[in-house]
Amino acid sequence: MQTKTRNALLSVEDLANHLNIPKRTVYSEWRKWGLPGFLVGKHLRFRENDVENWLEANRVDH
Q: Which domains does the chain have, with CATH numbers?
A: 9-57 (1.10.10)
With 0.85 as the threshold, say if the pTM is over it.
no
pLDDT range class, residue 6, cuts 50, 70, 90: low
Are 61 and 52 within 8 A, CB to CB?
no
Query: How long, in residues, is the chain?
Result: 62
pLDDT, tens digit, 9 for 90 and up, residues 11-58? 999 999 999 999 999 998 898 988 999 999 999 999 999 999 999 998
The pLDDT value given to residue 5: 59
* Alpha-carbon gap, residue 61 to 39, rounded angstroms: 31
